Structure 1
Amino acid sequence: MTPHELAVYDGSGIDGGLYRLVVGWAEAAPHWFNRLVELWTLLGLGVFALLMLAAWWRARGAGPAVMARVLASPLVVLVAYAVNSGIKGLVEEVRPCAQLRVHDTLEACPGPGDWSFPSNHTVIAVAAAAALWFADRRIGAVAAVAAVLMGASRVWVGVHYPHDVLAGALVGLAVAVPLALAAGAAGPLVDRARTGPLRPLLGAGPQSVAAPAGRPVGAGRD
């Protein structure tokens, strides 16, 4: 890599010292732990897809606004990713492993033009967690923990500065929160679709319990 390529943007002055500290911890960590982190940072984004499927399954018995938010969650993630890609192209921050000449990172250092700021993995994870939070609190909480672990793993394996991860989290939240909230407005569309051929996929929503003849719902026992 030439000095010209490294001169695009140097983020090491922000938290390069913290980055080196974390990479040093990774170098001294047990082999089994580092393998787990590598596996998570490589495959962990698939967990969010599974969580979206779980949220869809649970939303089949929920109100139409909930289902609308679940169905919108992949689109929310795609929009967040697109916004983040635009920011990456504007900032063009060199990866810390390249800028600081760190050669012993757990993940191979990406090549020239694969910019560092903000972290795509973190944006995707946080956007997914935020979208799921507004659809299903339990699944959203699990996704939030997974998003934190994903962001941390990107620094641990050596391909991002901590500020890349923090910025990625902020971008993910800034994009996902308003979109997830707005998606609830599509509830009436889901409600209508539930009366047609898509009902097996969308569910029937919450069902009221019919009362026995001559006895109101909720009446106590004799």
Structure 2
Amino acid sequence: MDSSATADLYRDITDFARSTPSWFQHLAELWTEAGLLLFGVIFIVLWWSARPTGSRAVAVAVLAPLATAIAYVCSETLKTVFTEDRPCRAVAGAGASLVACPPVGDWSFPSNHSTIAGGAAIAIAIVRPLLAYLTVPMALLMAFSRVFVGVHYPHDVAVGLVLGGVVAALIVLLAAGPVQKLVETMRTSQSGAVLWMVGTGARAGAERGRHSAGRR
């Protein structure tokens, strides 16, 4: 992988990073990892809030983290094809990265963090479109933070964002129908654990309410 095209931009960003106050650098270091946890929390909230609703809502809420995980696997596979060394080792004249440079063999292209962020942002936006106003900026900030702390080239994070978003969108949209049917089947189960996972849906809940009222 020819990384010379964005090496100068990498140097500019990392030089800027080292000129920022230490508290800002620590904030960037925190966000580069904590952002992933926040996406995970959003996934859980979306799944939980979808359980009392329609089966398609549950299907896409369940698919969102799965699609993001598949995007990550695609990113990890590409790393083994391109085997691009990290810029914190390869870019001549660049200062030390703000975080420890990953070891040789932990390749740079594409950025796994950015792939996960891009996939999560788009998958969540499919589940709840209004959340795109939150998740897209989150993903962009996470991608930028990977360059800011010095462990990725700009093209690593740009490709990662696109890869994650495209793969996640395709998985969610193409698999929503079959998974919706699976959810509907699971909702006929007598197992409490199964019903806890997929919820009973508004209609089933209403039916139980009517039966309870009739017995009174």
Q: TM-score range by the shorter chain?
A: 0.7 to 0.9
Secondary structure of the corresponding residue to residue 201 of structure 2:
coil
The number of residue pairs the alignment matches comes to 201
Answer yes or no: is 1:83 the counterpart of 2:74: yes
Number of the residue aligned with 1:195 = 188
Equivalent of 1:138, from 104, 113, 130? Answer: 130
Letter in 2 for 1:71: V
Write out aligned runs for 1:171-186 (5 A).
Answer: 171-185=163-177, 186=179
CA RMSD in angstroms, aligned pairs only: 1.9
Number of the residue aligned with 1:70 = 61
Find the aligned partners of 2:25 and 2:157 in 1 and give their Cα distance: 19
Find the aligned partners of 1:113 and 1:209 in 2 and give their Cα distance: 56
What residue ranges of structure 1 are gaps of 5+ in the alignment? 1-8, 211-222
Equivalent of 1:119, from 108, 111, 117? Answer: 111
Structure 1 residues 36-58: Cα deviation after superposition (integer angstroms, max 9, x where no partner): 11011123211111110011122
Structure 1 pair 60–138 and aligned structure 2 pair: CA distance change class (3 A): farther
| Runs (4+) off by over 3 Å | 138-141, 206-210
Answer yes or no: is 1:57 the counterpart of 2:53: no
Number of the residue aligned with 1:35 = 26
Q: Offset at 1:140?
A: 4.4
- Provide the identity percentage: 38
Q: Offset at 1:145?
A: 2.2
Number of the residue aligned with 1:205 = 201
TM-score by length of 1: 0.83
Find the aligned partners of 2:12 and 2:140 in 1 and give their Cα distance: 19
Structure 1 pair 205–139 and aligned structure 2 pair: CA distance change class (3 A): farther
Structure 1 pair 35–95 and aligned structure 2 pair: CA distance change class (3 A): same
Number of the residue aligned with 2:11 = 20
TM-score by length of 2: 0.85
- Name whichever structure is richer in helix by fraction: 2
Find the aligned partners of 1:10 and 1:99 in 2 and give their Cα distance: 11
Find the aligned partners of 1:70 and 1:49 in 2 and give their Cα distance: 12
Letter in 2 for 1:100: V
What residue ranges of structure 2 are gaps of 5+ in the alignment? 208-216
